[in-house]
Structure 1
Amino acid sequence: MNQSKKRWLATCSAPSLLAISIAAATSPVIAEDALLEEVITIGTRVEGRSATDSSAPIDIVTGDQFVNQGDGDLNNLLRNVVPSYNVNAKPIADAASIVRPANLRGLPPDSTLVLVNGKRRHRAAVISFLGSGVSDGAQGPDISAIPAIALKQVEVLRDGAAAQYGSDAIAGVINFQLKDAAEGGAVEVKHATTAEGDGDQSTIAANFGLPLTDSGFVNVSMEYRQQDSTSRSVQRDDAAQLIEDGNTYVANPAQVWGQPEVNDDTKFFINSAIELSDSAELYAFGNYASRATDGGFYFRNPESRPGVYAIEGDPLIGDLDASNGIYDCIGMSHAEAQSSDECFSYTEMFPGGFTPRFGGELEDYSAVFGVRGEIGDGIGYDISASTGHNEVDFIIYNTVNATLGPDSPTKFNPGGYVQNETNFNIDLTKSTELSGMPLHMAAGFEWREEEFEVKIGDTASWVVGDLAEQGFLIGSNGFSGFGPEVVGTFDRDNIGLYTDFELELTDNLRLGSAVRWEDFSDFGDTSNYKFSAHYTINELIALRSTLSTGFRAPTPGQSNITNVTTAYTNGELANRGTIPPTNPIAMVKGGAQLQPEESRSFTIGTILSAGDWDITLDYFQIAVTDRITQSANQELTDEERDQLVADGISGADSLEYFRFYTNDFDTKTRGVDLVATYPLGDATDFNLAMNWTETEITDYSPETMDEMRIRQLEEGLPEVRGNASITHSAETWRGLIRLNYYGSYWEAHLDDYSLPIDAGDEWTVDIEAAYDFNESMTLIAGAENVFNNYPDKNPWSGVAGAQYPETAPMGFNGALYYMRAQYEF
């Protein structure tokens, strides 16, 4: 019997904890259409709580708030309505341009737990090696695989909740609730374009509900989307000089900065449930998604790119006839080499240089099955099993494996990543009394297995060609393929037990507590707790507060990944590697077996109901120790480089720097959230949401953390974000206007500390109007950033051609205008 099965059986034999019944009755067998939007399902296990009853701050976003926008990426839609949620464009960021990292409350994407219908969603296979500092090395879930039309509502718990839900819930929890109607539906067609006339997005989506016998439902959602690329580029200085010098083969622009092209973006979700009896139901939901992404990379200068066109400042000319030595071509110019049968220059293939194109094909699917209901003595139960799969197969073209010379292909499949997760959960519930006071109790068990796989690339993407010993770079240039020595499957399993209590001491005072213990097969166990309180002073004001500890476990991918990519360092384009922290070379620089991050957090807030005003104001602080991230760049010696080559790491011969994952620094993140609503009339509402978040590095190791990373972490995201909106609904039409504010931020352009950008704050305005032709047909028109505002210009645009800061929180595409037609039935 393997170790994981032994641990699973040992836990199942401990009935004393699992026998404790928990806090709330289970979800209703068939969801009611009349369910109030304010009712929450996260942050508490007591049924029927509202957001204002919660002891922790929770944002509730209705499905309509997502659909009534122009963009088609759920990450952008969530950013527009939740100020503490930040995501920016990733025009040239390796795999991060395929699954963009997002940040809740200033922390990386894998510090936020994502749920669908209250069940943990699997993380993406993509690891963000280029994450603008804040998200460097993060591996979070792929939210963009969820179609907006499938959503009934979204709950954003802005509070540490690891004691309740387990790993990753340091920054908070986002729960996507799927539609559950048993009848009716809608079909939508949308087209959007930018003010520049590029970046077209075309989307068709549908949702419909069907009865499943007389006591169940099946609700299906589908979406198909195409997205064109944009360009907000200027010609690079070096490319402009080449053209001025007479090179007519250089493209203009030589390098494109803009959103990538997305093709065949297909999303499918199904949600279903059926009554088994008066006290039990069977439920199931799942998804399938796929898309292909095609983006840009950095320009390779035909006069100076090391390892392809140049070596130590001189032309790099390959001798194709090794039988008579390899020195016959030394000293030749590129032009001379082109006239020789024995000597080779890459100007023969790419006389104007080349800019690789990089992308990938993503596939994502999941399935959740469960049964829930109530057994004797009012004990509620929910037993579920789930599986999730995310896979990315990379592609790079318009590039070469320089060591293959004229035999090099120009298109490669460098391999891929696969993330698989399996979960099994038992949750129990019971409400009782303690000395006449209502007591809600909870307990549960979880078993989870994570598996990360590195898939081998095609041979040409990693093979060592004949020109390697002459100074040419090994592997597909820009993103080297995964060779036999670095591929493999890495897994980890864990078990968890939790208890959860809420006691209503009086009609005005409620106290809560939660304790969770988890044991991981790779690093051991961890225990966490949470305390909460909600006190109603009077009808006008209530107070709430939480105090908790949390953790985030390192992923198997972070612990074992090897990768070579191209990035700017000290003003020059250089190959940079990521190696496992337990690699002997990493251990010389301070690498070690990764341990979980640990957090301590608290919130304190007030809820005001003054007349028609509803206002919540919450302060939070999150202290995280032993944060997991990629180290700063470590310079390689010749001996270390040779050792990595001997270890079979493709492209290691060209590495100048490397990074590794490490538990290396501590941070303190604090902030304030303000949410206010006010009815301006019977059909008009005003909504305001503001967030201030500040992060401070409190401890770090100078050997692995540099000043650039510190500034990226502390200043890379705007400290202040907010939006204010007015909505109006009449008999046949409705309208929306939303004012968005993005605070100032700092960017190390191209991840290079010598290229700083101090970008100022910005305002944008969104508008939308809809007209109902009848009860079924509606036509909608709108604009995001209607006045076509752009972020501050990039003062270093000539270096690589980016006209605007790449990390601009508002994006850099300008206005997006859209039309949408909706038919409901």
Structure 2
Amino acid sequence: MGMFTTVIAQEEASDAEEAEAADDAEASEEESQTSTPVRLESLVVVGSRSRPRSILESPVPVDVVSKDDFARQGGADLTDLLRTLVPSFNINTQPISDASTVVRPANLRGLAPDHTLVLVNGKRRHRASVIHWLGNGLSDGSQGPDLSPIPAIALRQVEILRDGASAQYGSDAIAGVMNFQLKDNHEGGSFEFKPGIYQYGDGRQFAAAGNIGLGNPEAWTNLSFEYGGADPTIRSVQRTDALNMINAGNFSVKDPAQIWGQPIVENDFKFFANYGASLTDTINFYGHANYARKRVEGGFYFRNPNTRSGVFSTTGGKTLLVGDLRGLTAETAAWEARKQEAEVAGNEFTELSPHDADDIPITNHVPDPERLQAVKSDPNLFTFQEMFPGGFTPRFGAFAWDSSVAVGVKGTALEEALGKPLTWDVSGSFGRHHADFFIFNTVNASLGPDTPTYFDPGDYIQTDYNLNFDVTYPLHDLVFLASGLEYRDEGFEIIEGERESHQIGPLAAQGFTAASNGFSGFSPVAAGNWHRSNVAAYLETEIRPIDPLLLALAVRGEQFEGFGSTLNYKVAANYKVTETMRLRGSYSTGFRAPTPGQQNAFNITTEYDFAKGDLVNNGTIPSTNAAVGIVTGKEDNSLDPETSNNFTGGFTVDILGVNFTLDFFGIRLKNRLSVSQDFTLTAGQKTQLIAEGVTSAANLEKFRFFINDFDTTTQGIDFVVTAPIPNGNLIAVYNFTSTTVTDFNPDTLDDHRIRELEENLPEHRAGLTVVQSITDVWGVLGRASYFSGWFDSEDFLQNPDVPGTGEYTGRVIFDLETTYTVGSGLALTLGGRNILNTYPDENPNAAGSVGNKYGQFSPFGFDGAFWYAKVGYSF
């Protein structure tokens, strides 16, 4: 990507600037060792290829999260830790959301996950293989990076650029840029063990982590690891339909029949290496690599043993579906022989014929017992109540692997010829994310009694290759230049699932659904491997025409395979009004190209249709599929890149050690990419999809597809204050973000989808953190976090005619932590997150529908207080 570490950025500066940057870096390092870091004085490199600057001097707004900020929290998932610290960053639990349970979608400044570019040590990080088919509406259809494989103990700091930066870094940098800076010390280290449990008594978690620096200044490596896991939580109420069956005598129904809560995370291993070496006096080698793996398992919707269509019933619970196995089993021949023998002998033949069998009536939640017993005793008849008398709830998840490697060589040249050193950097990187899905405790109903109950639906694999060449040159003390070239190749692969996971079995013609119920396997037509490459060139400069004014200019041209070319630019400025106040602002254009996965992937999932009161199979198909043209009336429905216009403006003030920044921003997105509303499939469309190889289309109720049919405007305010207090530090942050759909196609985007995009995240976020040293060995941290109200689209669908359904009120969450230093390098910590055990509003429709006691997309979770301890040792 061309981003430079602090070391290289200092080499690019003039002699005076080098000395200043070195002094600042040393001061920043000293601050990071204290218990009261002042984040606004930290040095950052994101947003500029010039020398590192403090946040106050930067022409664009940047948040800095230090390693200490991560250490002072419970839990281990990096995205949860960031949510606490960065008010413009949102992530929630995603309890029943298909693959989004495995890789949770994160939102920066109210936009989708793939509108944020993620860097590690200034190099572009690969995106995850998971496409968020279910992502709380706002994230539906997005495909962003997975941050959870990064262990927090590996990080020196995280820089979050709250500004569009496509002209500098390329596609995806619309909402902003997150740069994860790895620790680079060659000596010392730390180890920690952190267990925790929710006050409810479930959801136990643990994480063991370590970091160590090896080598010397000439050849070094910094290694980090983390290993942990998490038990599930349950925040459900028993569904009314399940309770009715239990009261009617069906004691095979579980309580709760459906689980809402955190998923199971097992064998969660993360490893990161950061390394470098001096090859000559002017040439250095550098790089980083990672490997991570885990198993994630969550729940799905309950399959009622009387009413689940296509498995237990065909008439909405009035009758029990009975399968006719005649002609399908070996018993059929024997049945035919007995019948013929009786006819020859002139005897009456009373054995029930499968062809004459009717579905079994259900009265007061109980199938007719005599008919049910007759079916169970007849080898030619079958009902899934024989396998699952209490119904079933599928369990879904994935084995996930994440790996990457980046290497580069950088140095200086031509100092004698040019008068100042020209800095060059050549690098390459590779990243891969692999999700191997599984689903069990479910059936392929069309296979009848021969169905397996554990399925391998297939795999998603994402690969990214990057090659970069960058040069920088300080043309003058007042003019700095940077330029570079980039080549990228992005690949997406779908591996076919086992045959039974997508097979249309022999009972399909009798009304039994095909494919693995809950998450259909990837059929041969869905499987494939797609790649797209692009090349880019950029030019960047910083000019100081007068001493108080810094101007930053960037332009980038990019050529995409299959999309053509794009040209983007950026202008930013920082003006020093007085010694204590600066004005800053920027304007830029941006873009994001659809991923190969978004262009080509099929997906079939089971969702609850509240209007029907039953589960239905819904699908997402590529926009180029012929069935899409039937809806849109257009022959060409291929996707186009999104484009954006970004604006920020604000000021910074530093008075008597009190620093604060205030920034306004606006993001106008055109041809925004997401999934359409759901469309009911016609018989002709089903036939067409089946003919094209989408075997599970026979069971589809609705389908949707990717569109570029709407525009949005996102506006907001960011406010950050840091202030020293006696023996401590105070940090206050506030974010306001509001999104409006400004233009759309009513044929593909309905009011419900619009409301999801506009209201599914809280508009207001605020936080107040106080770090206090009580004695030399004892310190405390207190934090208050505010989340304003939000809209839960899933809860709204449970009862859309009741005003206020799905609207949740805001909450304030309190965290508290205390640390005692036992001896040299040894520290003990006790802490609590959400110590007042605050929950979201209860869902008034929970029992009557799907059992979710709280809004499932709560921005702060719905599990209550979490208590943790930590034993840490540093050396």
The two structures have a TM-score, normalised by structure 2, of 0.89
Deviations 1:675-716 (A, max 9, x none): 0011112x2111101000000000111111111111111111
1:536 aligns with 2:548: no
- State which drifts further: 319-328 or 653-662: 319-328
1:266-665 alignment, distance < 5 Å: 266-313=269-316, 314-322=319-327, 327-333=355-361, 335=372, 336-376=374-414, 377=418, 378-433=421-476, 438-571=478-611, 572-590=614-632, 592-665=637-710
Match for residue 124 of structure 2 among 113, 120, 127: 120
AA in 2 matched with 1:272: Y
Aligned mates of 1:268, 1:331 — CA distance in 2: 56
CA distance in 1, matches of 2:675, 2:837: 36
| Cα distance in 2 for residues equivalent to 1:448 and 1:754 | 47
Cα offsets for 1:90-146 (capped at 9, x unmatched): 110000000000000000000000000000000000011001111001101000010
Contact 2:354–2:381 (Cα < 8 Å) also in 1:
no
> Per the alignment, in what secondary structure is the counterpart of residue 609 of structure 1?
strand
2:257 to 249, 254, 259: 254
Q: How does 1:131-280 map to 2 (within 5 A)?
A: 131-212=135-216, 215-280=218-283
Following the alignment from structure 1 to structure 2, what is the Cα–Cα distance between the partners of residues 224 and 239? 38
| Structure 1 residue 26, shift from structure 2 partner | 5.2
> Displacement of 1:25 after TM fit?
3.9
Deviation at 1:443, TM superposition (A): 0.7
**Equivalent residue number for residue 13 of structure 1:** none
Q: Is the 8 A contact 1:501 1:512 kept in 2?
A: yes
Partners of 2:271 and 2:648 lie apart in 1 by 37
Counterpart Cα distance in 1 of 2:144 and 2:609: 26
Contact 1:568–1:752, Cα closer than 8 Å, also in 2 = no
1:800 partner SS = coil
2:817 aligned with 1:768: yes
**1:107 paired to 2:135:** no
What amino acid is aligned across from residue 149 of structure 1 in structure 2? I
Tell me the CA shift for residue 524 of structure 1: 1.1
Give the corresponding residue for 1:3.
none
Residue 35 of structure 1 deviates from its aligned partner by 4.9
- In the alignment, structure 2 segments of 5+ residues that lack a partner are 1-7, 33-41, 337-352, 362-366
Look up the equivalent residue of 2:63 and give its one-letter code: D
Q: Which residue of 2 aligns with 1:14?
A: none
Helix, strand or coil for the counterpart of 1:752?
helix
Cα displacement (A) at 1:50: 1.3
Match of residue 734 from structure 1:
779
Opposite residue 360 of structure 1, the aligned amino acid is: A
Alpha-carbon contact 1:743-1:761 (below 8 Å) kept: yes
Specify the code of the residue in structure 2 equivalent to 1:278.
D
In 2, Cα distance between equivalents of 1:539 and 1:26: 26
Kept after mapping to 2: 8 A contact 1:208/1:219: yes
User: What do the CA deviations read for 1:470-498 (whole angstroms, capped 9, x no partner)?
Assistant: 11111000001111121010110000111
Aligned to 2:850: 800
Which structure 1 residue ranges, 5 or more long, are not aligned?
A: 1-21
Match 1:788 to one of 833, 837, 861: 837
Report what 1:19 is aligned to.
none
Q: Secondary structure at the match of 1:713?
A: helix
Partner of residue 49, structure 2:
45
- In structure 1, give the amino acid aligned to 2:549: L
**One-letter code of the match for 1:563?**
N
1:777 pairs with one of 826, 829, 839? 826
How far did 1:332 drift?
A: 3.8
C-alpha separation between the residues in 2 aligned to 1:58 and 1:187?
30
> Which whole-Å CA distance do the structure 2 matches of 1:152 and 1:26 have between them?
22
| 1:436-488 deviation per Cα after TM superposition (whole angstroms, max 9, x unaligned) | x6101111111000110001111111112110111111100000111112101
1-structure distance, mates of 2:718, 2:109: 10
Q: In the alignment, is residue 696 of structure 1 matched against residue 766 of structure 2?
A: no
The question of whether the paired residues in 2 share the 8 Å contact of 1:23 and 1:501 is answered with no
Question: AA paired with 2:808?
Answer: A
Greater mean alpha carbon deviation, residues 455-464 or residues 488-497: 455-464
Q: Single out whichever of 376-385 and 160-169 deviates more from structure 2.
A: 376-385
Provide the rounded CA distance (Å) in 2 between the counterparts of 1:587 and 1:554. Answer: 19
1:659-674 pair list within 5 angstroms: 659-674=704-719
1:824 corresponds to = 874
Going from structure 1 to structure 2, the CA distance change for 1:24 and 1:45 (only over 3 Å counts) comes to: farther
Check conservation: 2:301, 2:608, Cα contact below 8 A. Answer: no
Is 1:687 equivalent to 2:731 in the alignment? yes
1:724-748 CA-partner distances (Å, limit 9, x unpaired) = 0110133111110000000111111
The answer to whether the 8 A contact 2:219-2:276 is kept is: yes
1:368-409 deviation line (CA, Å, top 9, x unaligned): 000111111311111100000000000000000001111111
More displaced stretch, 370-379 vs 441-450: 370-379
Secondary structure in structure 2 of the residue aligned to 1:592? coil
Q: How much does 1:326 deviate?
A: 6.7
Instruction: Name the aligned partner's letter for residue 446 of structure 1.
Output: E
Whether the 8 Å CA contact 1:208–1:220 is kept in 2: the answer is yes
Which residue pairs with 2:860 in the alignment?
810
Does residue 722 in structure 1 map to residue 726 in structure 2? no
Whether contact under 8 Å (1:26, 1:381) holds in the other structure is: no
Deviations 1:46-70 (A, max 9, x none): 1121111111100000011112210
Q: Deviations over 1:210-239 (max 9, x none)?
A: 015x51210000000110000000001111
Q: What per-residue deviation string (whole Å, max 9, x for no partner) do you get for residues 646-696 of structure 1?
A: 222132111010011111110000000000011112x21111010000000
Distance 2:290 2:502 in 1: 34
Percent of aligned positions with the same letter in both sequences? 45
The count of aligned residue pairs is: 798
CA drift at 1:570: 4.2
TM-score (norm 1): 0.95
Distance 1:680 1:540 in 2: 20
- Whether the 8 Å CA contact 1:708–1:753 is kept in 2: the answer is no
Query: For the residues of structure 2 that align with 1:120 and 1:796, how far apart are their CA atoms?
Result: 44
Residue identity opposite 2:110 in structure 1: G
Rounded to whole Å, the distance in 1 between the matches of 2:10 and 2:698 is: 59
* AA aligned opposite 1:425: N
Report the Cα offset of residue 580 of structure 1. Answer: 0.6
In the alignment, is the contact (CA less than 8 A) between 2:782 and 2:814 conserved in 1? yes
Aligned CA RMSD, in angstroms, stands at 1.7
Residue pair 1:24, 1:430 contacting (<8 A) in 2 also:
no
Partners of 2:795 and 2:843 within 8 A in 1: no
CA offset digits 1:503-527 (Å, max 9, x no partner): 0111100111100111111211111
C-alpha contact 1:462 1:480 (8 A) present in aligned 2: yes
Paired with 1:289 and 1:624, the residues of 2 have a C-alpha distance of 34
